[in-house]
């Protein structure tokens, strides 16, 4: 179902704490038993609650996340990263959080960038804050570089009027989300394609997108754990892009134009 009315800027997302937004960390995970506990511990060092969505892992990811002190929600079977994010947003809202900082469980994203996200959330609580990875980082898979370029172009093609020169990293999952805004978008993707879809639909509905420069760690190829399936997931990304373009061409949806930043800000 497509949301036809804009999200009002300044609209409160969830009850905020006395000093502003209530933020937790959200970690969607699938078979990351070797890294999940350390990622949780590093996130907890910023005195944030950590919510883990265990997306049907078949290893010890769930028990290790619980042992590390996270609030864990289990999917009985693997349903995809998009579904895990959706579960996490809903759970965060039910627990009274207004925002989540979503971070990958494999150690690729550095929790030391969390303060930058928190600062941006305080400055602009209605915005989605998108982590922007540096180009030319060591051990970046060639497929990731190509996929990022294609996906970034798709965002521009689907929402050029709304993003106005902004350059979000469409394939970076390190983001801060205002949970009620994203839950209202009517997203249809349930795997990796949803991470691009949420940006397009958010831009259409007047949710600001902001960029934050982050650092990234790519393990060597023989040590890397990735559940991105190049053929299937890229087909899904193209599929959701095609659907969005058809909507833009043929469905009269009110999409307020929102001027976005032209590049990443520096982390705190």
Per-residue pLDDT band at 251 (split at 50, 70, 90)? low
pLDDT of residue 232: 63
Average pLDDT, the chain: 81
85 to 56, 165, 183, 251: CA distances (angstroms): 13, 27, 10, 27
**What pLDDT band is residue 20 in, cutting at 50, 70 and 90?**
confident
Higher pLDDT, 229 or 103: 103
Mean pLDDT throughout 214-230?
63
Structure-block tokens of residue 171 = 């394939």
Q: Domain for residue 87, yes or no?
A: yes
> Which of the two residues, 62 and 259, has the higher pLDDT score?
62
Quote the number of domains for the chain: 1
CB-side exposure of 145: number of CA atoms within 13 Å? Answer: 10
What CATH number corresponds to the domain at position 104? 3.90.550.10
Contacts of 160 (CB under 8 A, 6+ apart): none
Question: For residue range 166-198, what is the model confidence (pLDDT) as tens digits?
Answer: 788 888 999 999 999 999 998 987 777 788 889
Strand ranges inside the chain, DSSP E: 23-29, 50-55, 71-75, 99-102, 128-132, 175-178, 209-213
The pLDDT of residue 90 is above 80: yes
Question: pLDDT per residue over 99-151, tens digit each?
Answer: 999 999 999 999 999 999 999 999 999 999 999 988 766 656 666 666 667 77
Give residue 166's pLDDT. 73
pLDDT at 39 (0 to 100): 98
Residue-level pLDDT at 260: 42
Q: Is residue 69 part of a domain?
A: yes
pLDDT tens-digit series, residues 48-69: 999 999 999 999 999 999 999 9
Judging by DSSP bridges, how do beta strands 50-55 and 71-75 pair with one another? Answer: parallel
Distance of CA 141 to the CA centre of its chain: 20
State the Cα–Cα distance between residues 46 and 207, nearest whole angstrom.
27
Asked whether residue 238 is domain-assigned, the answer is: yes
Does residue 98 lie within any of the structural domains? yes
Hey, which of 143-152, 207-216, 252-261 has the most confident mean pLDDT?
Answer: 207-216
User: Is residue 201 one of the residues assigned to a domain?
Assistant: yes
pLDDT score recorded for residue 139: 59
Domain extent, residue 161, equals: 23-250
Is residue 116 one of the residues assigned to a domain? yes
Residue 124 to residue 157: CA distance in whole angstroms:
26
Q: Is residue 6 in a domain?
A: no
The pLDDT, as a whole number, for residue 169 is 86
Give the length of the chain. 268
57 in any annotated domain? yes
């Amino acid at each position: 179902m497509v949301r036809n009315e804009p999200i009002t800027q300044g609209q409160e997302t969830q009850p905020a704490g006395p000093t502003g937004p209530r933020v937790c960390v959200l970690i969607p995970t699938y078979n990351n038993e070797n890294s999940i506990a350390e990622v949780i511990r590093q996130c907890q060092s910023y005195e944030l609650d950590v919510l883990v969505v265990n997306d049907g892992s078949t290893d010890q990811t769930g028990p290790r996340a619980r042992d590390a002190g996270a609030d864990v929600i289990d999917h009985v079977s693997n349903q995809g990263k998009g579904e895990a994010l959706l579960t996490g947003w809903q759970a965060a809202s039910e627990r009274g959080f207004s925002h989540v900082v979503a971070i990958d469980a494999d150690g690729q994203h550095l929790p030391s960038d969390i303060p930058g996200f928190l600062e941006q959330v305080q400055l602009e609580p209605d915005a989605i804050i998108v982590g922007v990875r540096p180009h030319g980082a060591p051990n970046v898979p060639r497929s990731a570089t190509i996929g990022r370029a294609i996906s970034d172009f798709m965002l521009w093609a689907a929402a050029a009027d709304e993003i106005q020169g902004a350059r979000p990293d469409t394939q970076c999952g390190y983001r801060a989300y205002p949970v009620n805004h994203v839950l209202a978008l009517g997203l249809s993707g349930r795997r990796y394609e949803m991470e691009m879809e949420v940006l397009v639909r958010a831009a259409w509905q007047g949710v600001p997108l902001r960029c934050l420069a982050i650092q990234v760690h790519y393990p060597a190829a023989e040590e890397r754990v990735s559940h991105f399936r190049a053929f299937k997931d890229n087909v899904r990304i193209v599929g959701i892009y095609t659907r969005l373009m058809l909507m833009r061409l043929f469905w009269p949806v009110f999409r307020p134009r929102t001027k976005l930043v032209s590049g990443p800000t520096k982390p705190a």
